[in-house]
Homo-oligomer: A and B are copies of this chain.
Amino acid sequence: MPGKSTPLKTTYHHGDLPQQAHQLALETLREHGDSAISLRALAKQIGVSAPALYRHFIDRESLLAEVAVTGFESLRERLLAVDQSSPRLALVDIGLVYVSFAQEEPNLYRLMFGGRVLPRGVHPRLDMAGKNAFQVLEDTIARAQQVGYVKPIPLSLMTAAAWSMVHGLAQLTIDGHLPSAKAEPHLAEGVVTLLLDGSLANNEQQHKDTSS
């Protein structure tokens, strides 16, 4: 593996092109959005010719898809880190973590969910990564249902509602339609709580605000 111990020496073979391209694409995405990602510009920054990238990514969209995959994995890890000891806290926190992720990484989040630039059904790994992240949300809701904390409505319905809520709030805030967390720190909590309180099992309704 040449160039590893002497990175300054110009070698014909780069040795780590895919990973470096991925990393640089992620940084460009973060700063300037997905439309700013050009294979030619990436190649020039890395110091390689543009067609070299096509040895590792079948096209531009595939590179974007790989970046989006790591985005979903990152989101999933954050969701998995939520404390699950209390059903209510877990539900609220997972919603807040979800929204926070989108607000901290708006361009990455837009890439992950911008159905136009990365359509479903084209990149299997991307679809899977998205599903895995979503699964954490669903598992948390299922757990709260099994404990009897939320109404026994169909899990798919409850999950769809929760996901729609946090995803909608995320999108609307990062696009400036609704005030961001900076301007309205408690908006996300209020919104998530509002949905949650409509989903409580009856015996939980009276003391629902004691645990928050």
Contacts and interface: CB of A to CB of B under 8 A. Distances in A.
Interface of A: 33-35, 107, 110, 113-117, 119-121, 130, 134, 153-154, 157-158, 160-161, 163-172, 174-178, 187, 190-191, 194-199
A166 B154 CA distance: 19
Q: From DSSP, what is the main secondary structure of chain A's interface residues? A: helix
Contacts of A154: 190
Number of copies: 2
Nearest to A120: B176
Nearest to A194: B161
Contact of A175 (B35, B113, B174): B113
A116 B110 contact: yes
B174 A171 contact: no
A82 B94 CA distance: 34
A136 B190 CA distance: 22
B161 A167 contact: no
B163 A165 contact: no
11 contacts: A35-B117, A110-B114, A114-B114, A120-B175, A134-B177, A160-B187, A164-B166, A165-B165, A166-B168, A195-B198, A196-B198
Given A194-B153, A198-B194, A198-B198, A168 B164 contact: yes
